[in-house]
Amino acid sequence: MDSLLSLARQDHPDVAERLNLETFLKLRHVALIPRTKSMPMVDLALARQGLKRDIAVQVPHFQSMPVIVQTTDLLCTLPKRMVVLYADHFGLQPYQPPVRTPEFPVYLIWHQSADNDIAHRWLREAIVNLCGRL
């Protein structure tokens, strides 16, 4: 299971020790380009309260989000396991988002043709072990 955390640059002028709802809504965000009609969990949680975050930039994958946050006043919200890796590497500060979101499962998916491939099996096990340590 995983949960969400938000990231801001360490010297962000508008974020203190905690990220409160007022600041979260006031600041602009980097978000994934939606691939389906479903809404990200953080946006669903905000919508339940009649609120909406200001998405300034949409990107195609998670990896570009911390690069943008590192040099701007934008925020991003990502799975905790990614935040743990990105925070140190990019010098970013993690924050608990000011809205409650449920924990969610993480899946590893592959094509059935790789089921019995020894190298692929090794890689899957390595990924599962790494994720278990994060």
The owner of tokens 């953080």 is 42
For 27-86, what is each residue's pLDDT tens digit? 999 999 988 888 899 999 999 999 999 999 999 999 999 999 999 999 999 999 899 989
Residue 108's φ and ψ, nearest 5 degrees, are: -115, 120
**Which CATH number is 4-95's, of 3.40.50.450, 3.40.50.2000, 3.40.190.10, 2.40.70.10?**
3.40.190.10
What is the pTM for the complete model shown? 0.82
For 82-114, what is each residue's pLDDT tens digit? 999 899 999 999 999 999 998 888 889 999 999
What does the block give as tokens for 58? 């949409």
Distance, in Å, from the CA atom of 62 to the CA atom of 99, rounded to the nearest integer, reads: 20
Give the residue extent of every domain in the chain: 4-95, 105-134
